[in-house]
Amino acid sequence: MEFSLATQTIYFIFSILFGVILSTLYDTVRVLRFMGFTKLWQIILTDVVYFFFCGVLTFLFSLPFNNGSVRYFVIFGEAVGFILYRFTLGEFMSKVYCFLISVIRKIFEKSLKIVIFFSNKLLKANSFVVYNVGVIIHKVQNIVFKRKGNYNNERKRIKKTAP
């Protein structure tokens, strides 16, 4: 199936825009790396998943234009869009992501400290209450056993005196 030069040019421009979209999707992978996914197996896994996802998206992108067959100029256009975004707006966005992640991390750490502080206070109060309840139960048991002992002694005394 042959396409005119105008159709191929439009397809190429759309592929450049699609490359920009793919590059913005790669920012999610970069955010994961900023957050601490820095081991080699994690990097390889995220890149493989990303490239598989890009392959499926590229196929779906080429369905309406070329009945699912991907042409070289489409892949080249996606690469151009990816590189354009990465070296222009992508650098700025990575700084924004780093700043946002550091702010979120600080907020999380401070809130975690607050939660730990209050949970320690709650555990100390709980242990105080549990200890005192234990002491009270022990005292009540002693009182009950003493009364029960007195009751048993009284019964024995009554039995001895009864005819």
Share of the chain above pLDDT 70, in %: 86
39/127 Cα distance (integer angstroms): 42
Other Cβ atoms within 10 Å of 85 Cβ, number: 22
Range of the domain at 50: 5-87
pLDDT value at 104 more than 60: yes
Domain total of the chain = 1
Residue 76: band (very low, low, confident or very high) from pLDDT cuts 50, 70, 90: very high
Residue 107: band (very low, low, confident or very high) from pLDDT cuts 50, 70, 90: very high
Q: For residues 117-125, give the mean pLDDT.
A: 79
61/57 Cα distance (integer angstroms): 6
Residue 151 forms part of a structural domain: no
69/25 Cα distance (integer angstroms): 23
Question: Please, what is the average pLDDT of the chain?
Answer: 82
Residue 95 forms part of a structural domain: no
31/46 Cα distance (integer angstroms): 11
Lowest mean pLDDT among 65-69, 112-116, 144-148: 144-148
Residue 93 forms part of a structural domain: no
Residue 14 forms part of a structural domain: yes
Contact in structure between 86 and 24 (CB atoms under 8 Å) = no
Enumerate the H helices of the chain as residue ranges: 5-35, 40-66, 72-87, 89-161
24/82 Cα distance (integer angstroms): 8
Residue 118 forms part of a structural domain: no
pLDDT, one tens digit per residue, over 133-151 is 777 877 777 776 666 666 5
152/23 Cα distance (integer angstroms): 87
Residue 88: φ, ψ to 5°: -115, -85
Q: pTM of the predicted model, to two decimals?
A: 0.60
Contact in structure between 28 and 47 (CB atoms under 8 Å) = no
Residue 17 forms part of a structural domain: yes
Residue 106 forms part of a structural domain: no
Residue 159 forms part of a structural domain: no
Mapping DSSP to helix (H, G, I), strand (E, B) and coil, where does residue 67 land?
Answer: coil
